Amino acid sequence: MSGLAVVGSQWGDEGKGKMIDYLAKKADMVVRGQGGNNAGHTVVIDEKKYALHLIPSGVLNKDAVNIIGNGVVFDPRGFFEELEMLEKDGVDTTKIFISDRAHIVFPYHRKMDELFEKARGKEDIGTTKKGIGPCYMDKIERNGIRTCDLFEENSFIEKLSHEIDRKNEMIVKLFEEKPLDKQAIIEEYRDYAKRLLPYIKDTGVLVYEAIKQNKNVLFEGAQGSMLDIDLGTYPYVTSSHPTSGGFTAGCGIGAGSITDVLGIVKAYTTRVGKGPFVTELYDEIGDKIRETGHEYGVTTGRPRRCGWFDGVVVNYSARINGLTGIALMLLDVLSEFDTIKLCYAYDYKGEKMVNFPARLDVLEECKPIYQEIKGWKKDITNCKTYDELPQEAKEYIKAIEEIVGVSVKSISVGPKRDQTILRGEIF
């Protein structure tokens, strides 16, 4: 049996989409368990680039079943847009299923996301404004509406109508804005309900059956560990659990179904949105990483903040996810530097710190302590084996393994499928 959890080990955008697509050629099933269409996962096949937000990145492999699990917050508008984009390109979308327990994102969630952010003023989080936080708020407050509710039209419309009234009251009284058009939302969602029914299943049973039959199941993480609501840089986080623990409740499986945890690790660090970032570079080196790595958000188009590899972060990530291997991504982006820095500890008021702290005020005071590695200054995008990599690149990989304490099982040297170097079997 193989249940491989694939998690983002930093602040998201580590290249999860590329690795899921790559590994999915051997997968029978790919399952998302958290987040929503705040995710932006890029898959490049030949010259064509696909941006996936809600649909698992296994969809471009014709055999895998793709599941949107119960822990995902499901936006029907985003889903149908994505489906249309894939179908236009001739992609087979017949093996996509949505959990009957997933919570639905409504226009009022997007509106509340925007209003909450505006109300935070300078303290805003920099969310994707996809309504993710407000949808999870409703779920936790027990006012959410789930995909299984779509099967009974009358009671669905009744619940929705009640929720729109409640949200409009807040929008008008608290935020002094115009109410949302209730009838338009009801009509939009009445249409979605009809179109969604064939996709909705008790997906927990499908995943369980696949695992029982010893099939290869990939669990696709969205966002990154440092954006975890409990374990990340709170409050500058998302509203779900992107760490490996999120897959159990989010896919409806037992922890024993996960046999390995692969941490997707960028060879440097990026972050979109606000929040602390110890190794951030504000100079031309940061700009060079951004331009070489095309570091602009897939979902919002925002420039990503860039910095050197932060080993304190990835070491923490290894611990909280139980990483059993690392997929090192975007190594080629560092090919032009004379010297490459890796942070292996923080200096906090003269003291060496190796455990990622909870307090943001402490983090703000932390300075990176760097180890320097000589750059390889060679194009590595055509390297097909580990042996072909320059010695300096191997030194860099070794330094990461030493800091994090986990083996690097694959190295990505470009966005395409064949720009992936394996060091043994992953899956």
Residues in contact with Mg ion by CB under 5 A are 13, 40, 298
Closest among 161, 207, 153, 216 to 186, alpha carbons compared: 161
Which residue in the set 4, 6, 8, 312 belongs to the binding site for ligand IMO (CB under 6 A)?
8
Q: Name the segment binding ligand IMO (CB under 6 A); options: 206-214, 221-229, 340-348, 401-409.
A: 221-229
Query: Distance between CA atoms of 377 and 363, rounded to whole angstroms?
Result: 33
Question: Can 332 be counted among the known catalytic residues?
Answer: no
Under the criterion CB under 6 A, does residue 19 sit at the interface with ligand IMO? no
Query: By the 8 A CB rule, do 269 and 313 touch?
Result: yes
Q: Which does 233 bind (CB under 5 to 8 A by kind): ligand IMO, Mg ion, ligand GDP, none?
A: none
Query: Distance between CA atoms of 276 and 341, rounded to whole angstroms?
Result: 19
Under the criterion CB under 6 A, does residue 333 sit at the interface with ligand GDP? yes
Which residue in the set 29, 132, 333, 403 belongs to the binding site for ligand IMO (CB under 6 A)?
132
Nearer to Mg ion among residue 137 and residue 298 (C-beta): 298
State which amino acid sits at residue 424. Answer: G
Site for ligand IMO in 63-122 (CB under 6 A): none
Under the criterion CB under 6 A, does residue 223 sit at the interface with ligand IMO? yes
Question: Can 100 be counted among the known catalytic residues?
Answer: no
Nearer to ligand GDP among residue 168 and residue 410 (C-beta): 410
Locate 23 and state its tokens: 């590994």
Q: For the purposes of burial, counting CB atoms within 10 Å of the CB of 264, is it exposed (0-12), middle (13-18) or buried (19 or more)? A: buried
Q: Which does 414 bind (CB under 5 to 8 A by kind): ligand IMO, Mg ion, ligand GDP, none?
A: ligand GDP
CB of 394 to ligand GDP, least distance (A): 16
- How far is residue 42 from each of residues 18, 56, 256, 352, measured CA to CA in Å? 6, 11, 30, 37
- How far is residue 342 from each of residues 148, 168, 404, 409, measured CA to CA in Å? 48, 50, 11, 19
Query: By the 8 A CB rule, do 141 and 109 touch?
Result: no
Closest among 82, 38, 9 to 239, alpha carbons compared: 38
DSSP bridge pairs for 348 = 351, 366
Nearer to ligand GDP among residue 12 and residue 144 (C-beta): 12
Q: Which does 320 bind (CB under 5 to 8 A by kind): ligand IMO, Mg ion, ligand GDP, none?
A: none
Catalytic residue annotation: 13, 41
Q: Which residues bind ligand GDP (CB under 6 A)?
A: 8, 12-18, 40-42, 44, 293-294, 298, 329-330, 332-333, 412-415
